[in-house]
Structure 1
Amino acid sequence: MFRKWIPAIDWLSNYKKDDLSSDLQAGLIVAIMLIPQGMAYAMLAGLPPVVGLYASTIPLLIYALFGTSRQLAVGPVAMVSLLVLTGVSTLAEPGSQEFISLALLLMLMVGVIQFLMGILRLGFLVNFLSHAVISGFTSAAAIIIGLSQLKDLIGVKLEAGKDVFKILGESVMRVGEINPITLAIGVISIVLLVIFKKYIPKVPGPLVVVVLSIVTVAMLNLHTRNVNIVGEVPGGLPVLSMPSISIDAMVALLPIALTISFVGFMESIAMAKAIAAKEKYKVDSNKELVGLGLANVGGAFFSAYPVTGGFSRSAVNYQSGARTPLASVITAILILITLLFLTDLFYFLPKAVLAAIIMVAVYSLIDIKELKYLFKIRKLDAITWIITFIATLVIGIEQGILIGVVFSLLVFIWKSAYPHMAELGYVEKIGVYRNISRYPSAKTREDLIIYRLDESLYFANMSFLEDKLCGLVADKPTTKYIILDFSAVNSIDAVSIHALEEMIENCQAGEITFLFSGVKGPVRDLLKKADWDSKYKGQYEYHSIQEAIDDIS
């Protein structure tokens, strides 16, 4: 029973000593990467840097117990951090005690939502977030994230909020106020991070940049020349505390909590499945929701903020040799040690460096290659990407993804209401029936129309089928038989059955007989319930088009 709910029992009971060195190495490398990232992402979320370290401890330990991915690295990520800032800043001033309290409540809500989705096996709901929507959303959000850090990069307190156009405009207007030392630190940090990432990937670039910048600021006393530094980072372990629960606050935070729950899980499950496929094991989407949900619920009681599995850290964790979730446990322990003994070392860390770490990290999220690919394959998906991207960039984070989802669903409904259908003819060369528009040599008969439906039938697309058939009959007045190929029809509703019956009766009155081939079992069961055995006995039992033709020849 416990094995079913606690996946850690399996990997702990079967742990191999040979995996320990690899897990230790991966845990150390991810911890080195996560310490500066966690602090940077907490600042992006409008929270004190230490909250990012808190979010990198207890949630990791909980996920290691309840998650099904062996290599997924859970913790603060840029996207979720921006969503936290977006949702909570409408209710409280970023950095204030009320803001921190609401962030804890938001984390609890996200955890409960994800946990309930997992328990109720609702993981399939994330399928409604199409890849085009997610790609367009993350690309726009990456730009918003990057520009939101401009104030720390240039050392000017911008008042434009999260509106990218206002940020750019205000930055241009206040170019004379830029702190050249801060800007130099930020630009040099970006250059170094890019060099390490591109040419020396095995070296933890963020840690190197953090150490160099701290030493430089401390030795040259740059903090006395208006270079903003992190300052005192509270030491000690995260203390057990109760999130302040308010019905009004929960109602106000619900939209952003749902967004984080879905978007965070999408990012997490995509990476988890990609690694699992390479390592030949399976991750359970619903158990992943339970694991992430419990990680967020637990973190809410230890001064953290919403977490999920991150792309870059998970990739580093995997490439560094992580074999089991013990690597994440080691990462969490190392960060706890940092909280106990090493927080004083971050006093002189320039905020410009944290801004640079965020900017470089989110740059890869701008997925122009995906847009080009979508244009090449299917323009409608590319339009979905563009609409989501523009809506997110211009209107807002929450509204952008909502508009993208609604548009993608409208596209789906439109496609199902106007499905692909084809008139078929016999291709002698290969001995099969094919679409006559693709195979002009396919042979047809003057008294026969063979029509294939490539979609399930329901109330919204029946009139489209009727219009198509009426048009074909009008063009071919000698028609005596219509064979409907139902091999691609997986389901049918009562309205469609009734409409089919009306069409059959009207056509039979005009001396056209309907025959059905390839009707699948579930569809046939519904037709039997509609008394087709007595109404149209022998007209819908054909296994193939040829069988139906042989019967009327």
Structure 2
Amino acid sequence: MSTKTTASAPCCSLLWVRLLPFLRWWPRVTRETLKADLIAGLTNAVVVLPQGVAFALIAGLPPEYGLYTAIVTPIVAGLFGSSWHLISGPTTAISIVVFSTVSGFAEPGTPQYVQMALTLTLLAGAYQLAFGLARLGTLVNFVSHSVVVGFTAGAAILIATSQLKHVLGVPVPRGETFLHTWWVLLRQLPDTNLYVLAIAMVTLAIALLIRRWRPRLPGMLIAMVFGTLLGIGLNGPDHGVQLVGELPAHLPPLSLPDLSWATVRDLAPKALAVALLGLIEAVSIGRAIATRSQQRIDGNQEFIGQGLSNVVGSFFSAYAGSGSFTRSGLNYTAGAQTPLSAVFAALALALILLLVAPLTAYLPIAAMGGIILLVAWNLIDFHHLRSIIRTSRREATVMAVTFLATLFLDLEFAIYAGVMLSLVLYLRRTSRPAIVSLAPDPKHPARQMVNISRTQAKECPQLKIARIDGSLFFGAVDHVATTLQGICESPPKQNNLLLVANGINFIDTAGAETLAAEAKRLRELGGALYISGAKAAVREVLVRGGQIETIGVKKMFSSKADAIRAIVPKLDAGRCATCAQRIFQECPAAAATTANG
């Protein structure tokens, strides 16, 4: 009886940890960590106040919804995710996708628009939660970072473009294309409201100066205060300066997404793009910070945390959120020790909202426009842009396609296009494993094998040595078969092939059949296929499929040296006697044997 109880205890404990993942890090909580988390949380609350308002405006929602998202989302994501430092909430990229998606169905800022945004959030969260429960967290590894860099750069330009009407004080029709919007803005430059422009530029300049000289201060918040004071001093409303209006001084209210079939049908495909972007952002940011904090991120648990935060948030007036790089980086820098810092940040923001909400009645939209321009500029990752362009033509292509699609096509399609292109290029690389021709280095005492394309090493006229660097699976068999046949038939024509298989980590039935077919082809030409260094898993596939009988058990060797010692005596002795290459250590012995005969 006691044995049974003892055996079941770990199982019960594991089940509780899966259901309540915060139990994993709860033992780390001490008085010292609580103090560090509280300080980090208070710092984050001050930073997210202007960001939350700005992001909500980008998403086409009333400004308080950005703060609601910054209150609800981080609590759920922090408790049910896996990262110690990731803080979730509204982000620029997802905000602009929400605007692009929902604005096609309803007028921004209207009750219908808000309800559809909440429905989009619920659907995106359901996708993310399903991915996590299905243990698909590793899928985000197949999405190239170039997709995120290209998308965020394009989104930054779209964000800046959408705010220029608030910075210049000119009307711009809603829902127009990127190029048409710029054309309208250029035509209306002479009608710029100088009062609006002055407030926006002063706010932007102060934010830049604080970031340059006092980066630890909440620069955006201070800049918005100066912009508000300037608007009051200029008597802005009398000169066409629009104000944000007073925020409701209460906690996130309960809400109900629109679950009608028509709305779900229209938003479900687009919600998948929001879900994918949110997961890519969250896991990428979490892993980037985890490399510094020496923590291991569980991708599946992070999917579950993000999904739950959006599902729960949709019923508490929060729109789609994800990991925030700015707030997460600040959280780590401020000394946070556990996800309780995210909880403290949310609670502190709720308290601030209750106290300062009435003051937003004097905040000019132009000041917010200046801040959002700075947010858009910060969104462009110039370092990685330059790095990708310099290092990889393929990744640069993925980035460029995603960037252009973001500017000129639907944002959700841009994400799909970038992801699909990165997967296509990945599959193309894996389906074309490198096949290198080798030969002994005459300058090396042990005749080490070297790539003949990079050295002056000479090949044996009768024996071709080639190495496959990559997996031999169904997608790669055509390339491998064609290449092997081509290198064997190129001068000097060689009918014996030693295949160095050390680099083959995986082989399937199609790959095994390809090797068997190559062995048959060479045998018909009077030669043979030899394999050296095959891993145990590769040999096992050949044995189970029966291909090893076609190749020949005696033609499988553990090393290149063993293979050459066995192969050279089997070569045409007459050709060996007259051969001038003598590249193998066994060659003189073979020649002497021929001479004595």
Structure 1 length as normaliser, TM-score? 0.95
Q: Say if 1:516 and 1:540, in contact at 8 Å, map to a contact too.
A: yes
C-alpha distance in 1 between matches for 2:327 and 2:371: 13
SS of 1:149's equivalent?
Answer: helix
Q: What is the CA–CA distance in structure 1 between the aligned matches of 2:358 and 2:521, rounded to whole Å?
A: 85
**Amino acid of the residue matched to residue 453 of structure 1?**
I
Mind listing any 5+ residue stretches in structure 1 that lack a counterpart?
Answer: none
Question: Could you report, residue by residue, the CA deviation over 1:180-203 in whole angstroms, capped at 9, with x for unpaired residues?
Answer: 111111111111111122221111
Shift of 1:365: 2.5
> Secondary structure in 1 aligned to 2:556?
coil
Aligned residue in 1 for 2:440: 426
Structure 1 distance, partners of 2:367, 2:331, is 23
What is the Cα deviation at residue 43 of structure 1?
A: 0.7
Deviation at 1:463, TM superposition (A): 2.9
Q: Which residue of 2 aligns with 1:147?
A: 161
Q: Which residue number in structure 1 is paired with residue 297 of structure 2?
A: 283
Alignment of structure 1 residues 144-223 onto 2, 5 Å: 144-159=158-173, 161=175, 163-223=177-237
What is residue 523 of structure 1 aligned with on the other side? 538
Spell out the pairing of 1:386-401 with structure 2 (5 A cutoff).
386-401=400-415
What is the distance in 1 between the residues matched to 2:373 and 2:483?
54
Is the 2:143–2:423 contact (alpha carbons within 8 Å) kept by the matching residues of 1?
no
TM-score in terms of structure 2 length: 0.88
| Partner residue of 2:318 out of 294, 300, 304 | 304
Query: Using CA pairs below 8 Å that are at least 6 residues apart, which structure has the higher relative contact order?
Result: 1
User: Matches of 2:130 and 2:478 in 1, distance apart?
Assistant: 40
Give the direction of change, closer, same or farther, for the CA distance of 1:493–1:533 in structure 2 (3 Å limit): closer
User: Is 1:148–1:162's contact at 8 Å kept on the other side of the alignment?
Assistant: no
Matched, 1:339 2:353: yes
- Aligned runs of 1:40-189 on 2, under 5 Å? 40-159=54-173, 161=175, 163-189=177-203
Aligned to 1:322: 336
Q: Does 1:510 align with 2:543?
A: no
CA distance in 2, matches of 1:279, 1:337: 30
2:273 partner SS: helix
The CA deviation at 1:84 is 0.4
After TM superposition, the structure 1 = structure 2 runs for residues 351-370 of structure 1, keeping only pairs within 5 Å, are 351-370=365-384
Query: CA–CA distance in 2 between the matches of 1:539 and 1:386?
Result: 52
Change (3 A) 1:204 1:230: same
Partner of 2:469: 454
Equivalent of 1:436, from 452, 463, 483? Answer: 452
Cα distance, 1:116–1:540 mapped onto 2, change above 3 Å: farther
Residue 4 to residue 417, structure 1, CA distance change in 2 (3 Å) = closer
> Unaligned stretches of 5+ in structure 2?
1-14, 569-597
Shift of 1:103: 0.7
**Secondary structure at the counterpart of residue 56 of structure 1:** helix
Please report the RMSD computed on the Cα atoms of aligned residues, expressed in angstroms.
1.9
The alpha-carbon distance between structure 1 residues 248 and 546, as it changes in their structure 2 partners (threshold 3 A), is: farther
CA 1:40 to 1:461, structure 2 compared with 1: closer, same or farther past 3 Å?
A: same
1 CA distance for matches of 2:176 and 2:78? 35
How much does 1:422 deviate? 1.1
Code of the residue aligned with 1:483 in structure 2: it is: L
Contact 2:433 2:470 in 1 (8 A): yes
The whole-number CA distance in structure 2 between the counterparts of 1:290 and 1:536 is: 49
CA distance in structure 1 between the partners assigned to 2:371 and 2:143 by the alignment: 28
- The one-letter code matched in structure 2 to 1:433 is M
CA distance in 2, matches of 1:469, 1:34: 59
- On the 8 A contact 1:160/1:166 being kept in 2, the answer is no
Contact 1:457 1:489 in 2 (8 A): yes
State which of 253, 273, 295 in structure 2 corresponds to 1:259: 273
CA separation of 1:458/1:4 partners in 2, compared to 1, >3 Å: closer, same or farther? Answer: closer
Corresponding residue for residue 563 of structure 2: 548
Specify the structure having the higher radius of gyration (Cα): 2
* CA distance, structure 1, for counterparts of residue 103 and residue 493 of structure 2: 70
Q: Is residue 372 of structure 1 aligned with residue 406 of structure 2?
A: no
What displacement does 1:164 show?
Answer: 2.5
Aligned position for 2:7: none
**2:262 aligned residue:** 248
Q: Distance in 1 between matches of 2:554 and 2:400?
A: 48
Give the 3 Å change call, closer, same or farther, for CA 539–164 of structure 1 in structure 2.
farther
- Residue by residue over 1:290-316, the C-alpha shift from the partner in whole angstroms, topping out at 9 and shown as x without a partner, is 111111111111011011111111112
